[in-house]
Structure formats: C-alpha cells, structure tokens
Amino acid sequence: MRQRFFEYHRVLQACIKHPGEQRIELQMVVITFVFVIAMLNSFIGIGAVAILVFGYRGAWLPMAHYFFERHGKLFSIYVPMAGFLTVAASIGPIARDDLLRDIIVGQYYQYDYRNLYPISTLPSFDLWYGFDHALNWFQIALTPIVTMWLLQFLLYSSMTAVVAKAVLQIMGDRRDRIYWAGLAVAVAVYLSVGRIGLARPEIILSVWAISAILVRRNSGVVAWTLAGAVLCTSYWLAFLYFAAALLFQTNVTKKIGAAIALTVIHFGFWLLMFGADYYSALLWLPDVLQKQICEVGENLGLELLLFNPVVIGLLILGSIGLVVDGTRRALTIAFVLVFFIASNQVRYIGVIAPLMVLLAIQCWKPKLPELNAMGMPLVACISLFLLLQVAGTIPSRDDAPNFAIPVNSRVITAFGEATYAMPFFNPGIQIEPSYAFGAAPKDVQQLSLDISRNTKINCETIKKYHFTHVVEQSMSGEPPSCLTLSAVQKKWRLWNVQ
C-alpha cells in the first residue's frame, strides 16, 4: 500500500510540474470562484466545474489514466458483475422452464417424466440423466431454491470468465484490453441472459463449447475433452456441441481427435445405458415437432434476433472484418458460428452471442481505438449499464404461480411459466402439457392454447383427461361452467374443476 501511494504521488507531481503552469495562488482563486458560483446557482456551478475540469485536463488526465489502467479488472469486470448480481438478487430470480422440473424429478418422480406428465407420450428414460441425478443430490443438501440460484450464479460467472479470458488472449498485450474484455462480456450476457437464467444443460454445454477457444496446449485438450465426457451424460443431444473442438488453438489432428473421442463416448454411454430406447428417442423428436399444432418459443427461427440492433451490428462487423482481414483464427470462429446459426433456432443464442462478439473483436482488434483516461471509464460505464438493464429483465419467483394444491392433483395450464413453476412449488402433482408440447394429444394441445388465448375452454376435454385444476392468467368474461375460482395470486388464477 505504501509503495502504491508513492507511485501515485510521483505521477501527480509529474502532472502538475510543467513549465508555464499557473501559480498556486491563481489556481486557488479560480477554484474558490467556481465553488462560490456552485453555491449560488447549482446549474451554473455545474457548467463552471465542467470548464474547470476541462481547463486542468493536463493535470488530472494522466493521473486518471494511470489509475484506471492499474484497476482495470475492478472497473471493467467486477463492478459491472457486482451490479448485475445485486439487481438479480433483489429480484429473486427463477428459471422459466426446464430447470424447475429437473430439480424435483428425482426425489418426487423417480427420474421418470411420465410420472410428472401422465398424458404425453414421452421416452421411457431420463433424457437428462447425469444432470438430473446431480441436481437431486444438491437439492436435498441445499434445498431446491438455493440449488437453482447456485447454478444460475455459476453459469453467469463462467460465461463472464470464459469470454473475458478469450478477449484478453485475442487483444494480446494492449494496455486497455481489460476494458474491451469487460464490454465483450456485457454484450454477450446482454444477448444471452435469457438462456443463462434457464440454467439448463444446454447452456452449460454452451459455456463449455466457448471455452474451447482458450485451449492451446495438450493438457488443455485433455482437460476440455474430459469435461465434455462428463457433460455427455447430462444431455442426450450433447453431441450437437462437439463441433466447438474446432476452436482449439492447436493443429487439426487434435481438433478432430477430440470431436471423434467425444462422439464415441457420448453414443457409447447412451446406447450402453438405454440401448434401443435411445435410438427410438432420436426418431421420437422429429415426430413430436411435426405433431405440434403451434410453434414453441425456443424452436423459433433466428429471424427474431434481426430486430435487435446489437445483433445486426455484430453480424455486420464480423462479415466486413472477414472480408477485409480474415485471419485463420477468425475464419475458424466464423465457421463454428455458422454451424450453430444453421440450426435456425434461438435456443442456441448461448453459443451464437459469445461467438459473434469474439469474431468482431478478433477481426477489428487492430482498428479498435486505444482507450485513454476518458475512454476507459466510459467503456466501463457502458458495460455496467448493459448488465444493469438486462438484470432487470430476469423473471422473479414472486411473479410465478405457486398455489398450494394437493399431491396427485392433475393440472392443465398454458404452455409457459405455470407449466414448470407449479410442480416446482408443489412436487408430487401431475401436469400437462409436458416439456415436449407435441407429445400431448392434439385436443390437450388445443386446450392449452385456448387457455393462453382467452378462447372458450372445452370442459369435455378437461373432464376427459381427469384434470382437477386449471392455472391461467388470460381468461375473461363468463367462466366455463366446469370451473370454480379457488385462488388469485397477482396475475394468476387457480380454478377447481367441478
């Protein structure tokens, strides 16, 4: 601490001891005059202070540049990160969908989703085997809500660390590189925060996939591949992320070798554990998608992102950069990015957003301006603003339906928050529709849509499938004859079936 004080003191002396500098008496008169003006009229005083600061910029700018350069991590990474977490914690976040059922499926449904969704036609095995088993252990030890928050925090922190480290590698030894890393993190989180908050195995695999860009040595290849082998057990479609091995900063042989090894491990595990049932599930998925009578949000196309100016800007920067100065590393990032874009599903934004940011940084790093004492805090403020803004959009558990209903009740909802929140807060109930909307009979799908669209609800379908409760937030007018209002919670209503 003493040494750092004397360093700042020397810099300050170098800043104020210039030939032709005003005498100290004159400086004190000017500062006193500005102070008096500020006391008499705050508006004029602000202007006077601004003029004073500008006039003496030769004295404080070098000092400020030295200060922000020495404390780059604090202002560019830790302060924005702390701001994001503070806002998120005050909201009391909740995952919107799958994680809520993954946490409770082990203890209360014996890892069999058919016990939770009794009407839908689902695979006979757990498609998230390793993930669900791990979550069950944690939720028993820590409680379900703490398990959810811990996983969300770890994923946000991991995304921050991976993107920041990748940018630092790309930027080399530039003195302002930590501020560009902080901005890259903020933009990546800004675009993918919705997926991070879901905390599914898919977003875990996304962070793991992006981390491949950090791999340079043989030890890194081994560690990344071993981590992927563990993650294979968490998601039955994990093989879709193995193309990320191409991001290694190694030779082609190691890239292809890692991808092949993971593919063998993945299919070896799932076929050994579940045999022909796994193969049947691969055929079941396209059949379910075909039977859906409406589009499901996460399967919608990437055209939704084209309304976001940040996405458009990143795509333009990346495209122009590849044409003007397309290095081998930039082309590799672009190839993996195109691979995930080709799916045309917004569910992969957790991979697409960081790759777009890293591609833009990789292509434009020689042309990025060198940040000075004013540029560094400005970029840090932009990062903080972006993260505070998106933190405010995180769903709160206080807004989710948490009505208390008896065990073994059978609930029908619109396909959305209530579908997942109700069993999370009432483990032991049954609910429809399931995570696979098209797996339910078409009349159940239509009933769910009618509930969401304020269309007349078919009581015959409700009674046909022995539903005991309806949870909704959109019905108006005369309620159906088969329903009796039981409870109201903010925008949500619970109906008993007569």
Bridge partner list, 487 = 494
- Res. 40 pLDDT band, cuts 50 70 90: low
Rounded alpha-carbon distances, angstroms, from residue 498 to 48, 460, 470, 478:
73, 12, 11, 16
Which pLDDT belongs to residue 33? 65
- Res. 371 pLDDT band, cuts 50 70 90: confident
Q: Which residues of 352-362 are buried (b: 16+ CB within 10 A; e: fewer)?
A: bbbbbbbbbbb
Contact 210, 166 (CB under 8 A): yes
Which tens digit of pLDDT belongs to each residue from 152-175? 999 999 999 999 999 999 998 888
In this prediction, what percent of the chain has a pLDDT beyond 70? 84
Asked whether the predicted pLDDT for residue 312 surpasses 70, the reply is yes
CA-closest candidate to residue 332, choices 351, 358, 312, 350: 358
User: Helix H segments across 127-251?
Assistant: 129-142, 144-171, 177-198, 201-210, 218-232
For the residues 492-498, what does the mean pLDDT come to? 92
Q: Is the peptide bond preceding residue 433 cis, with omega within 30 degrees of 0?
A: yes
Q: What are phi and psi of 478, to 5 degrees?
A: -70, 120
Which pLDDT belongs to residue 17? 45
Which tens digit of pLDDT belongs to each residue from 69-87? 777 788 889 999 999 999 9
Asked whether the predicted pLDDT for residue 12 surpasses 50, the reply is no
Which tens digit of pLDDT belongs to each residue from 253-281? 999 999 999 999 999 999 999 999 999 99
Q: Which residue has the higher pLDDT, 119 or 306?
A: 119
Q: What DSSP state is assigned to residue 262?
A: H
Q: What are phi and psi of 494, to 5 degrees?
A: -110, 125
Q: Which residue has the higher pLDDT, 48 or 122?
A: 122
Rounded alpha-carbon distances, angstroms, from residue 484 to 65, 293, 381, 479:
67, 28, 52, 8
Q: Angle CA(219)–CA(220)–CA(221) in degrees, nearest 5?
A: 90
Residue 485 CA, chain-centre distance (Å), reads: 37
Our CA dihedral for 134, 135, 141, 145, rounded to 10 degrees, sits at 160
CA-closest candidate to residue 76, choices 174, 176, 2, 159: 176
Which pLDDT belongs to residue 355? 95
Asked whether the predicted pLDDT for residue 478 surpasses 90, the reply is no
Give the integer Cα–Cα distance in Å for 452 and 474: 6
Which tens digit of pLDDT belongs to each residue from 222-235? 999 999 999 999 99
Rg value, the chain, Cα: 28
